[in-house]
């Protein structure tokens, strides 16, 4: 029997250097939460790179900042889930995402304490008007860390992502229906296979390169049918042409036979998503005022996904 595209992909692409360490972390995290009979969610977040050289100087990337995945992770923790936060290195992370760049320093002040009339050790404190902002987020972060409810795993390239995705699924299979997969990462559809990639930095002296990309195998196929057949799988569909959005989401459900596609348009992804199931579809919208007031669409998305997961679990009798 000939091997399928995804099997060839793994046969022809080496795992990332830190793969075994991440696999051990995943195993340990999953075993602990499975023993405690917790529900668990794998959140994938951020974009993937497509290297153009083995010794990578240049790569193709995409727009994803990891906002969806990092915000959703916080809401899943609020709902009591253990979370594997599988994200693109240097993309947004839960909790710290609230204070990016200068924002963090703007919350702090330095005070010079006087000791015996001389200036002593400077101390740093959070400005009083920032305490209200920082305190609840810090409290939630501490609770998640102390209860070991979150595991951070990172990837960079599409190949790293594929290896980690399968490794995570191997650990999640034991949760059966208690596992939820929330595949929000913007994973490249195209890549340069390892054997077609130059080893060293491409030289401009050789003229303008012609770069030929190939299709990345659709991992949703083995994921749904083989790796986690009893889990509740939610994929995201991103389009820029509204006419394709629902059609492509339905195609995906028909093809992979999972439970739910959350469809969004690039331009409006922060204020509008559509939940598409094999038989229904409905929208979640935030108004401009709600956005300005700091509301996040992920709060609503996660509440609805959790409800769908609970309904799904309730409908399956205990084995
Ligand atoms: C999404 O559609 C996510 O909602 C976004 C979030 C990537 C738009 P940000 O990270 O953006 O908050 O900036 N993710 C899935 C995108 C995707 O590539 N889906 C594949 C497709 O549409 C199917 S799995 O073909």
Q: pTM (2 decimals)?
A: 0.96
Strands (E), 12-66: 40-45, 50-51, 59-60
pLDDT (tens digit per residue) in 53-95: 999 999 999 999 999 999 999 999 999 999 999 999 999 999 9
Ligand 1 center–CA 216 separation, angstroms: 16
CB 291 within 8 A of CB 88: no
Region 232-259: what's the mean pLDDT? Answer: 97
What span, in angstroms and rounded, lies between the C-alpha atoms of 43 and 188? 17
* Residue in the structure block whose two tokens are 């075994």: 20
d(CA 150, CA 153): 10
- Furthest C-alpha separation in the chain: 84
- Per DSSP, helices labelled H in 216-296 are 220-222, 242-256, 288-292
- Which protein residue has the closest C-alpha to ligand 1 atom 7? 186
Q: Is 68 in the pocket of ligand 1 (CB under 6 A)?
A: yes
Task: Flag whether pLDDT at 33 surpasses 70.
Answer: yes
Tokens of 9: 């992909």
Structure token digits, residue 114 = 């006087």
pLDDT at 119: 76
Query: Which of 48, 64, 73, 161 gets mutated to test ligand 1 (max ligand atoms within 8 A of its CB)?
Result: 64
Q: Could you give the CA distance from residue 262 to residue 9 in angstroms, rounded to a whole number?
A: 27
- 181 Cβ inside 6 Å of ligand 1: no
What are the tens digits of pLDDT across the range 118-157?
A: 777 889 999 999 999 999 999 999 999 999 999 999 999 9
Rounded to a whole number of angstroms, the distance between the first and last alpha carbons of the chain is 33
CA pair distance 263, 236, nearest whole angstrom: 6
Mutate which of 87, 97, 238, 246 for ligand 1? The one with the most ligand atoms within 8 Å of its CB, which is 238
* Domains, the chain, ordered by start: 3-95+148-230 (3.40.50.10300)
- CB of 23 within 6 A of ligand 1: the answer is no
Q: How many angstroms from the chain centroid is the CA of residue 73?
A: 8
Q: What is the pLDDT of residue 318?
A: 62
Q: Is the pLDDT of residue 1 over 60?
A: no
- What are 241's two structure tokens? 């042409």
Q: Residue 82 CB: number of other CB atoms within 10 A?
A: 24
**Residue 64: CB within 6 Å of ligand 1?**
yes
Long-range contacts from 293-296, C-beta under 8 angstroms, 24+ separation: 296/71
Instruction: Say if residues 234 and 183 touch (Cβ distance below 8 Å).
Output: yes
- What is the edge-to-edge ordering of all strands in the sheet holding 281-285? 150-155, 82-88, 40-45, 179-183, 232-239, 260-265, 272-276, 281-285
Quick one: angle between helices 158-172 and 5-12, nearest 10? Answer: 110
Residue 2: pLDDT over 70 = no
- The arithmetic mean of pLDDT across residues 175-193, rounded, is 98
- The C-alpha atoms of residue 149 and residue 77 are separated, in whole angstroms, by 7
Report the pLDDT averaged over residues 10-34. 97
Could you tell me how far CA 146 lies from the centroid of its own chain?
22
CA dihedral 224, 229, 233, 239 (to 10 degrees): 10
Specify the residue for token string 């400005």: 127
3-state secondary structure of 149: coil
Mutate to test the pocket of ligand 1, among 44, 50, 269 (most ligand atoms within 8 A of CB): 269
Tokens of 233: 């799988």
Q: What is the pLDDT of residue 101?
A: 87
Cβ contacts of 210 within 8 Å, gap of 6 or more: none
By 3-state DSSP, what share of the chain in percent is helix, strand and coil, each rounded to 5? 45, 25, 30
Closest ligand 1 atom, residue 239 Cα: 22
């Amino acid at each position: 029997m000939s091997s399928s595209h995804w099997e060839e992909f793994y046969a022809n692409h080496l795992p990332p250097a830190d793969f075994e360490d991440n696999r051990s972390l995943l195993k340990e995290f999953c075993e602990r939460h499975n023993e405690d009979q917790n529900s668990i969610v794998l959140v994938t977040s951020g974009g993937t790179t497509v290297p153009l050289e083995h010794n990578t100087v240049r790569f193709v990337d995409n727009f994803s900042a990891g906002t969806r995945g990092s915000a959703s992770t916080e809401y899943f923790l609020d709902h009591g889930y253990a979370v594997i936060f599988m994200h693109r290195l240097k993309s947004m992370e839960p909790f710290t995402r609230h204070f990016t760049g200068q924002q963090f320093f703007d919350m702090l002040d330095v005070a010079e304490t006087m000791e015996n009339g001389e200036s002593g050790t400077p101390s740093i404190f959070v400005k009083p008007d920032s305490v209200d902002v920082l305190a609840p987020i810090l409290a939630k972060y501490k609770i998640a860390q102390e209860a070991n409810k979150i595991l951070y795993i990172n990837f960079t390239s599409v190949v790293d992502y594929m290896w980690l995705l399968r490794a995570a699924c191997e650990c999640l299979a034991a949760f059966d229906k208690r596992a939820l997969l929330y595949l929000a990462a913007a994973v490249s559809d195209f890549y340069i296979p390892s054997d077609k990639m130059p080893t060293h930095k491409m030289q401009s002296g050789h003229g303008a390169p012609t770069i030929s990309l190939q299709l990345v195998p659709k991992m949703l196929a083995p994921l749904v049918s083989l790796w986690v057949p009893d889990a509740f799988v939610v994929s995201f569909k991103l389009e820029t042409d509204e006419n394709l959005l629902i059609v492509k989401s339905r195609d995906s459900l028909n093809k992979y036979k999972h439970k739910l596609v959350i469809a969004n348009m690039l331009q409006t992804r922060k204020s509008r998503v559509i939940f598409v199931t094999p038989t229904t579809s409905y929208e979640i919208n935030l108004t401009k005022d709600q956005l300005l007031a700091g509301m996040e669409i992920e709060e609503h998305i996660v509440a609805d996904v959790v409800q769908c997961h609970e309904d799904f679990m309730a409908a399956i009798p205990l084995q």
